[in-house]
Structure 1
């Protein structure tokens, strides 16, 4: 019966692929986490069927990973993957009792996301050489990232037919293929128009499709290339922090909140399914307010003026 664990695990992964429409990266995480648990069950506990799995097995697995110095964030993700499998097996009648229901995961305090200041964003966007088609493309990428708060996968997968520059909006398909409409700011529209009129035609090749952002070879630009470009322009802009593509999404949300935008609006723009995910940005704003108070209030400063 050694294959029973694998067969039902394969069925669950097929369900995620066909029914849930998850990204390749998310599916890969599920597969790694659940395969790791399956091997633990077979090798360490000699379990051959999901019906034999208990909460004790799950707790032992999480403990073994903790002992191997996995971070709390990784442990929470692995337990979340296992809970999803557990729910699937219950729903399909493969097991009669949940093996994760009474298992508590490690406490996880979400860190406030790193962001760029408005001045740093402006320096970053000004870094590309706009006399080249690649430079026009890169300015459009940076402007759109910051203007619309897109994920890297949403930006690299963006197609020409998803944009309407006349009304200043684009339609994206985020996690789980959920559709949302994102506004495009005035400066981002101008950068996109310059790129589409002057830059992109010089990059088009015979096999180029309808991807908005394309490489010098005419193919859709990759996530890896985006990472390399943003690190390059951060260095040119003299930004002394490890800048990643997601920082522009974080900066987009934080600057909207600082400007007075409603948290629910920001949730919708970012495509978060749960408001609790968006609430992490309130901690960034609280820290900024606290810092400003400490710096400028006469009874918060370290050296108060004497009267």
Structure 2
């Protein structure tokens, strides 16, 4: 079932079963219709917590008020709770969604220079100590940023996903869509160090094909990946709840800041709709405007 169909069933449930006021039902329908349009009307099972974070983050970039953001969050939680109760989904992704505290915004884009310094320090420290977990963390961070991956995509990578000679990675994205994206020299160095010196030390079963491993030798979990990013980038970005999506946001914004073509960025991110990628042009434009006002003599 597509999201748009499920939204119609849900709003009918709100009106007929829960007997909410027409104004409340209209507000829920408008919020969820915006989510459907943002995600390009995927199947109900395909939408995950990363999509929801990006949707809320895009709303903050458009200047939505905190009250409207809170209402959107409530609409979303109610909808996915209903989907779960009706057995239309096996999970409720909103249970893993941390709503920003009052006075905070959703994760911001890290400055390119600061991010470069942190990632390089992480890689150098890992190389120096040779600690397998540190080597894994450095490779994970570099690949999340270098290839602009979703955290679920990174954790789902296998050894065969990498083409080390071409410095590309084959990613299985939303809706089972496959794409091949490049990564840079720093990521290549970190990944090579992890494969040669880190992964063999953690591997307990030679049959495991996962690229990134947890401390016990199994495939790296999404929760662990979140903690790695939070611990490393939290002090830089200044957000307690920062996660891997901040690296993805940063990568997309930095690509556009550097002059990358919008459609090329769309392909790299695996967005079905160009409109989703255009969110990042708003960030770049705001940064340019701020720099202009500070530096231009006739601003």
Query: Do they superpose with TM above 0.5?
Result: yes
Is 2:182 the partner of 1:194? no
Larger Rg: 1
Instruction: Check whether the contact 1:203–1:214 (CA below 8 A) recurs between aligned residues.
Output: yes
Give the distance between the partners of 1:275 and 1:192, measured in 2 at CA: 30
Change (3 A) 1:178 1:78: closer
Given the superposition, is the C-alpha separation of residues 109 and 268 from structure 1 closer, same or farther in structure 2, using an over 3 Å criterion?
Answer: closer
Task: Give the secondary-structure state (helix, strand or coil) at the position aligned to 1:181.
Answer: strand
Tell me, what secondary structure is at the counterpart of 1:260? coil
Contact 1:208 1:219 in 2 (8 A): no
TM-score where L is the length of structure 1 = 0.66
Supply the distance in 2 between the matched residues of 1:147 and 1:79 (Cα, whole angstroms): 28
The aligned runs of 1:272-291 (5 Å cut-off) are 272-291=271-290
Instruction: Give the equivalent residue in structure 1 for 2:165.
Output: 166
Asked whether the equivalents of residues 139 and 187 of structure 2 are also in contact (C-alpha less than 8 Å), the reply is: yes
Closer, same or farther: CA 80–114 of 1 in aligned 2, 3 Å: closer
Aligned to 1:122: 116
| SS of residue matched to 1:182 | strand
The answer as to whether partners of 2:15 and 2:25 remain within 8 angstroms in 1 is: no
Instruction: Tell me if structure 2 keeps the 8 A contact 1:115–1:251.
Output: yes
CA distance, structure 1, for counterparts of residue 202 and residue 5 of structure 2: 37
Per-residue CA distance 1:222-249 (angstroms, 9 max, x = gap): 11111111111124x5542343211111
Question: Segments of 4+ in structure 1 off by > 6 A?
Answer: 78-81
Q: Deviations over 1:249-289 (max 9, x none)?
A: 11111111111111111111111111111111111111111
Given that residues 110 and 280 in structure 1 are in contact (C-alpha distance below 8 angstroms), is that contact kept between their aligned partners in structure 2? no
Aligned mates of 1:80, 1:142 — CA distance in 2: 27
Question: 1:63 aligned to 2:28?
Answer: no
SS in 1 for 2:17: helix
The count of aligned residue pairs is 234
Shift of 1:215: 0.4
Tell me the equivalent position of 1:247. 246
Structure 2 CA distance for partners of 1:34 and 1:221, relative to 1, 3 Å: farther
Distance 1:200 1:84 in 2: 36
Contact 2:159–2:211 (CA under 8 A) maintained in structure 1? yes
Considering fraction of residues, name the structure with more helix.
2
Deviation sequence 1:162-194 (CA, Å, 0-9, x none): 111011111111111111110121111111000
Change (3 A) 1:208 1:38: farther
Provide the rounded CA distance (Å) in 2 between the counterparts of 1:79 and 1:193.
Answer: 40
SS of the residue corresponding to residue 167 of structure 1 reads coil
Match of 2:152 in 1: 153
Is 1:139 matched with 2:138? yes
Please tell me the root mean square deviation across aligned C-alpha atoms, in Å: 3.3
Aligned position for 1:52 = none
Match of 2:73 in 1: none
